[in-house]
Amino acid sequence: MLAAKLRKEFDGLVAVDDLDLRMGRGLLYGMIGPNGSGKTTAIKMLVGLLRPTAGTASVLGEKVPVRRNIHRMGYMPQEMAIYADLTVHENLELFGELYSMERRAFSERARALLRMVDLEGRRDSLVSQLSGGMKHRVSLACALVHDPEVVFLDEPTVGVDPELRAGFWKYFADLKAGGKTVVLTTHYMDEAVRCDVVGMMRSGRLMAEGPPRALMEATGTADLESAFLSYARRSDA
């Protein structure tokens, strides 16, 4: 996956400024930064939902956007992209059909995902009857239902209790171990340290990038939050 000088402006406001990224397969990459730092805009450009003002991006060897690669990619947006008037399982079925999944493969995958997001008991519940956290979990399952090669997750653990968050991260690690590329955004610094590589976003720019431990060592700090603040001070100097 490559991004070269990606830039996005909205009515003259620069949301992402000259973003360069390079990611190989089997990588767990975390974008961290405060609200408004450009994380979500960057993800939307990488999946082809936003056209960049300048620069280019390619995923799975193809310039974004490319329709033939859609079935090889999974995307979980920050906003809910599921249907409130359908049940949990019906939402999964819909996404499975969109990706032309075979019935048997879908059934096995749906069972595994409902178990992973701890919603087996709410399989036949309308999404409108679920809590915000549960809806978030359904959205994650829908993004993964077709077993994509590259997964983009925008704040996947917001509203999820600590125990389930730990389970999600184990699953993300399993995806990586299986050769998948996982790109996620988070503002939980304790989560970000589990990533192979972290990109620190601020005011639309990538301040620093590297393995969490290397970023902490480079700033002489004991945790990732302190490292982020150190890089922020440097960028202001």
Question: What confidence tier does 235 reach under pLDDT thresholds 50, 70, 90?
Answer: confident
Question: What confidence tier does 147 reach under pLDDT thresholds 50, 70, 90?
Answer: very high
Question: What is the chain's mean pLDDT, rounded?
Answer: 94
191 within 8 A of 157, measured Cβ to Cβ: yes
Q: Which two tokens stand for residue 103?
A: 């019935």
Number of domains comprising the chain:
1
pLDDT at 66 over 80: no
Please provide the DSSP assignment of 77-93 as one string: -SS--S-TTSBHHHHHH
Q: Which two tokens stand for residue 89?
A: 């399982």
Domain, as residue range, for 120 = 2-236
* CATH number of the domain encompassing residue 39: 3.40.50.300
What CA–CA distance (Å, rounded) separates 72 from 122? 28
Question: What confidence tier does 69 reach under pLDDT thresholds 50, 70, 90?
Answer: confident
Mean pLDDT of 153-168: 87
Contacts of 52 (CB under 8 A, 6+ apart): 6, 7, 8, 16, 45
